[in-house]
Amino acid sequence: MENMESTASKKSCNTLVVYYSRTGSTRKVAEYITKQLGADMEMIIDMKKRSGAFGFVIGGMDALMRKETEISEIKKDPSKYDLVIMGSPLWAGNISPAIRTYLNKYKANIESVAFFVTSGGPSQGKIFEEARSLLGKELISFMGICTKEINDDSVFDTKLSSFIESITLKKW
């Protein structure tokens, strides 16, 4: 983990929001959470081209086959944080390859984790079990939010406020 920001020591409730976003929906949620919690943020960059229709199809196939991908070097060491909040788009009913790669590579360095997923539709349930399985630990909180909810400001604010409250009320 060379070139990571050094942090002298963990602080109480020190939080990192880690996300991957192809279209910007997951980024919007991650930015909101980061601002509300005063957290640090890490954007995961997939080195494989995922833009356009072809990128969409290949991304879905890679997610369906539960493939990993090459990601850029991270800048923030997750072991320096009390809580890591992970965000992934839902691709073919699965975690995106970039987030799968991050989880598999750094799961031993993550103390406590919450998870959110963005999707085009309401069917998000199994992704949280997949995240638990990949991490080998329980999630302190999880939330699914679909595009329609992301684009409706009142629903977005209500749903995100509830997710953030569920995190802040837990003793992790």
Residue 78 burial (CB < 10 Å; 0-12/13-18/19+)?
buried
The boundaries of the domain holding residue 101 are 15-168
The fraction of the chain above a pLDDT of 90, given in percent, is 56
Instruction: Flag whether 2 is in a domain.
Output: no
Question: Bridge partners of 76?
Answer: 5
Query: Measured between alpha carbons, how far is 30 from 21 in angstroms, rounded to an integer?
Result: 9
**Given pLDDT bands bounded at 50, 70 and 90, which one contains residue 48?**
confident
| Cut 0.75: pTM above it | yes
Q: What is the pLDDT of residue 5?
A: 40
Instruction: Flag whether 106 is in a domain.
Output: yes
> What tens digit of pLDDT does each residue of 113-124 get?
999 999 887 666
Say which CATH number the domain at 85 has.
3.40.50.360
**Given pLDDT bands bounded at 50, 70 and 90, which one contains residue 52?**
confident
Q: What is the pLDDT of residue 123?
A: 65
3-state secondary structure of 82: coil
Across the range 126-142, mean pLDDT stands at 87
